Amino acid sequence: MYNAVPMQSTCATIAALLGIEAPADAYAPCKQVVNYVEKRLGKPERVIMYNPDAIAHHLWQKYPDLYTPVLELSPLPVPICTVMPSVTPVCFASMYTGVSPEVHGIRKYEKPVLTCDTLFDCLIRAGKKCAIVSTAGDSISMIFLEREMDYFIYPTLEEVNEKAHELIAEDKYDLLVIYNANFDSIMHRYGPESPEALVALDHNCREYAALAELAEKTGRKTALAFAPDHGCHEIDGGCGSHGLDMEEDLNILHFWKCIG
């Protein structure tokens, strides 16, 4: 059984929270998230998207204790179904354009700069500030380039997260997107449920909690999301993979927290 909420709804959900127009063809926002956030915050002043790669719904089902830092902060898990093929550039393009791969044009593992309208373009037109913080060469650091926004691209995960902490404390962005690839890279080598991968998952959950703690110190009304792009499954040899039309790869959870 596939999850009910389409990945494409994420774009318009963020737009609705920030009070701006989404791309014209974007899928409708997730009312559950919008109502949840607005009931607690009214209109948030900023959105922070923490995008850990490849963290599947089934991992939460099997290892709920690892999610304790996330669940304590964000009691609203939203069951998301991502897009096919369930690979990183295709999924992030759908997350931040609100349209299907057939519309935005990335339909396989490739990283062209998107020329269609994106959430970032909508923010820029509305006079809002946005930034992406990512490791170099990864999809999210490449497919949204060539826009009047800020990009903070670093060689290592540690540098990415250090900069993300700094930017949250500076508090000058309406949308901040932070990408962590550690779980994905490790699960490909050792398998999604290997000890090494579970350490990476634990790191992602704790990093989310650290971002929330920093955001709370600024006193600004913030909607914070733990929002992976796709899931994963084990293949022969004990390694991990994704990209197929199967529950393990398509079903993910997005968690939302209200701060302020």
Q: What is the pLDDT of residues 82-93, one digit of tens each?
A: 999 999 999 999
179-196 mean pLDDT: 98
In this model, does residue 104 exceed pLDDT 90?
A: yes
In this model, does residue 25 exceed pLDDT 90?
A: yes
Place of tokens 């600004």: 220
| CA–CA dist 237, 136 (Å, integer) | 29
pLDDT tens digits for range 209-239: 999 999 999 999 999 999 999 999 999 999 9
| Percent residues over pLDDT 70 in the chain | 100
| CA–CA dist 93, 106 (Å, integer) | 7
The pair of structure tokens assigned to 126 is 């509305």
Report yes or no: 108 and 126 within 8 Å, Cβ to Cβ.
no
Q: pTM of the prediction?
A: 0.97
- At residue 134, the pLDDT reads 98
Tell me how long the chain is.
260
Domain that holds residue 217: 5-259
pLDDT tens digits for range 60-78: 999 999 999 998 887 789 9
Place of tokens 């559950």: 32
- At residue 18, the pLDDT reads 98
- Residue 56 sits in a domain of what CATH number? 3.40.720.10
> pLDDT-based confidence at 143, cuts 50/70/90?
very high
In this model, does residue 9 exceed pLDDT 80?
A: yes
| CA–CA dist 45, 122 (Å, integer) | 16
| Percent residues over pLDDT 90 in the chain | 96
Report yes or no: 254 and 31 within 8 Å, Cβ to Cβ.
no
| CA–CA dist 191, 199 (Å, integer) | 12
pLDDT tens digits for range 34-50: 999 999 999 999 999 99
β pairing state of 222-226 and 251-259: antiparallel
In this model, does residue 183 exceed pLDDT 80?
A: yes
Overall domain count for the chain: 1
pLDDT tens digits for range 109-129: 999 999 999 999 999 999 999
pLDDT mean across residues, the chain: 97
